[in-house]
Amino acid sequence: MKPEEVSSAIMHEDSKALERIKGIGKKTAERAVLELKDKIGKQSTDTIVTPGKTYTSSVKQDALEALLALGINRQQAEQNLSKFLQAEPELQLEDLIKKVLKGL
């Protein structure tokens, strides 16, 4: 799924759409919707748009909360987030989460 599709599924509480993502089951999809719906709604007010890129004021914190909602160990998530952000400080939220999940 594209990042916009994930955001839309969360905003519309469409856990079935999230279940189509490899590794995401029914309970995880429902939990992600429950815990991230408010964050996705706030994202539009916290977002700074520049040509071709979108940044939130707290990408690392948002990514950490998303990873914790998916059941990732906090220490592991923080270490991997720091590692990827040091290497590529301008990563978008969705790309950062993907890299951390692949790196686990």
DSSP conformation letters of 45-85: HHEEEETTEEEETTHHHHHHHHHHHTT--HHHHHHHHHHHH
Which residue type, as a one-letter code, is found at position 29?
A
Query: Cβ–Cβ contacts within 10 Å for residue 16, how many?
Result: 11
Distances (CA, A) of 8 to 18, 75, 87: 10, 29, 29
Q: Dig out the tokens for 35 from the structure.
A: 């815990």
Q: What is the pLDDT along the chain (104 residues), one digit of tens a residue?
A: 788 888 888 888 889 989 988 888 999 999 988 888 887 766 544 444 434 444 444 788 888 888 988 888 989 988 998 888 888 888 888 899 999 998 87
The pTM of this model reads 0.47
Token reading at 90: 């301008």
H-run or E-run covering 54:
strand 53-56
Q: Which amino acid is at 98?
A: K
Query: Can you give the length of the chain in residues?
Result: 104
Contact assessment for residue 18 and residue 9, using Cβ atoms and an 8 Å cutoff: yes
The residue range of the domain holding 73 is: 3-103
Say how many domains are in the chain: 1
